[in-house]
Amino acid sequence: MIEVESLTKDFGLRRAVDKLSFTVKPGEVLGFLGPNGAGKSTTMKMITGFLTPTSGTARINGHDIQTAPVAAKREFGYLPEGAPGYADMRVMDFLEFAADLRQLQGDYRQQRLQQVVADVHLEGVLGQKIDTLSKGFRRRVGLAQAILHDPKVLILDEPTDGLDPNQKHEVRRLINSMAEDKIIIISTHILEEVDAICSRAMIIAQGKLLADDTPANLAARAESGRLDDFFRDITAGGLS
Amino acid sequence: MNPINIIFRRELAAYFSTPLAVVFIVIYLMLTGVFTFYLGNFFERGQADLQSFFAFHPWLYLFLVPAIAMRIWAEERKSGTIELLLTLPITMGQAVIGKFLAAWAFVAIALAGTFPIWITVNVLGDPDNGIIIAAYLGSLLMAGAYLAVGVGVSAATKSQVIAFIISLLLCFIFTLAGFPLVLDAFSSWLPGGVVDALASMSFLTHFQSLQKGVIDLRDVIFFIAFIGAWLYACALIVDARKAD
**A161 vs A72: CA distance, rounded Å:** 27
What Å distances lie between residue B134 and B7, B62, B111, B141, B217, CA to CA? 29, 21, 13, 11, 12
Q: Closest approach of chain A CAs to the CA of B227, in angstroms?
A: 25
Contact call for residues B86 and B77 (beta carbons, < 8 A): no
C-alpha A130 chain-centroid distance: 21
Q: Nearest chain B Cα to A105, which residue?
A: B1
Low-confidence stretches of chain A (pLDDT beneath 50):
238-240
Average pLDDT over residues B202-230: 90
Kindly provide the b/e burial profile for residues A83-98, where b requires at least 16 CB atoms within 10 angstroms of the residue's own CB: bbbbbbbbbebbbbbb
Contact A82 B80 (CB under 8 A): yes
Contact call for residues A128 and B58 (beta carbons, < 8 A): no
Amino acid A183: pLDDT: 95
Chain A residues within 8 A of B10 when measuring between CB atoms: 86, 89, 97
Average pLDDT over residues B142-160: 95
* Average pLDDT of chain B, as a whole number: 91
Please check whether residue A102 touches B, CB under 8 A: yes
Q: Nearest chain A Cα to B90, which residue?
A: A70
Q: pTM for this one?
A: 0.92
**pLDDT per residue over B16-57, tens digit each?**
988 888 999 999 999 998 888 888 888 777 777 888 889 899
In degrees, rounded to 5, the angle at the alpha carbon of residue B98 between the alpha carbons of residues B103 and B93 is 130
Helix B129-154 × helix B115-124 angle, to 10° = 160
**pLDDT per residue over B174-207, tens digit each?**
998 888 888 888 888 888 888 888 888 889 888 9
Contact B89 A70 (CB under 8 A): yes
Please check whether residue A216 touches B, CB under 8 A: no
Contact B83 A84 (CB under 8 A): yes
Please check whether residue B188 touches A, CB under 8 A: no
**A216 vs A213: CA distance, rounded Å:** 8
Contact call for residues B50 and B137 (beta carbons, < 8 A): no
Closest CA to B64 of B34, B95, B106, B102: B106
Size of interface A-B (CB pairs under 8 A): 68
Contact A48 B87 (CB under 8 A): yes
Q: How many CB atoms lie within 10 A of CB B237?
A: 20
Q: Nearest chain A Cα to B86, which residue?
A: A50
Chain A residues within 8 A of B239 when measuring between CB atoms: 52
Contact B89 A100 (CB under 8 A): no
Contact B10 A97 (CB under 8 A): yes
Chain B residues within 8 A of A48 when measuring between CB atoms: 87
SS3 A50: coil
**Which residue of B76, B78, B88, B238 is the best one to mutate when testing the A interface, meaning the one whose CB has the most A CBs within 10 A?**
B88
Amino acid A237: pLDDT: 59
Please check whether residue B87 touches A, CB under 8 A: yes
Sign of the torsion formed by the C-alpha atoms of B227, B80, B88 and A36: positive
Q: Nearest chain B Cα to A143, which residue?
A: B84
Q: How many CB atoms lie within 10 A of CB B184?
A: 10
Q: What is the ipTM of this complex?
A: 0.91
**pLDDT per residue over B94-139, tens digit each?**
999 999 999 999 999 999 999 998 998 899 888 889 999 999 999 9
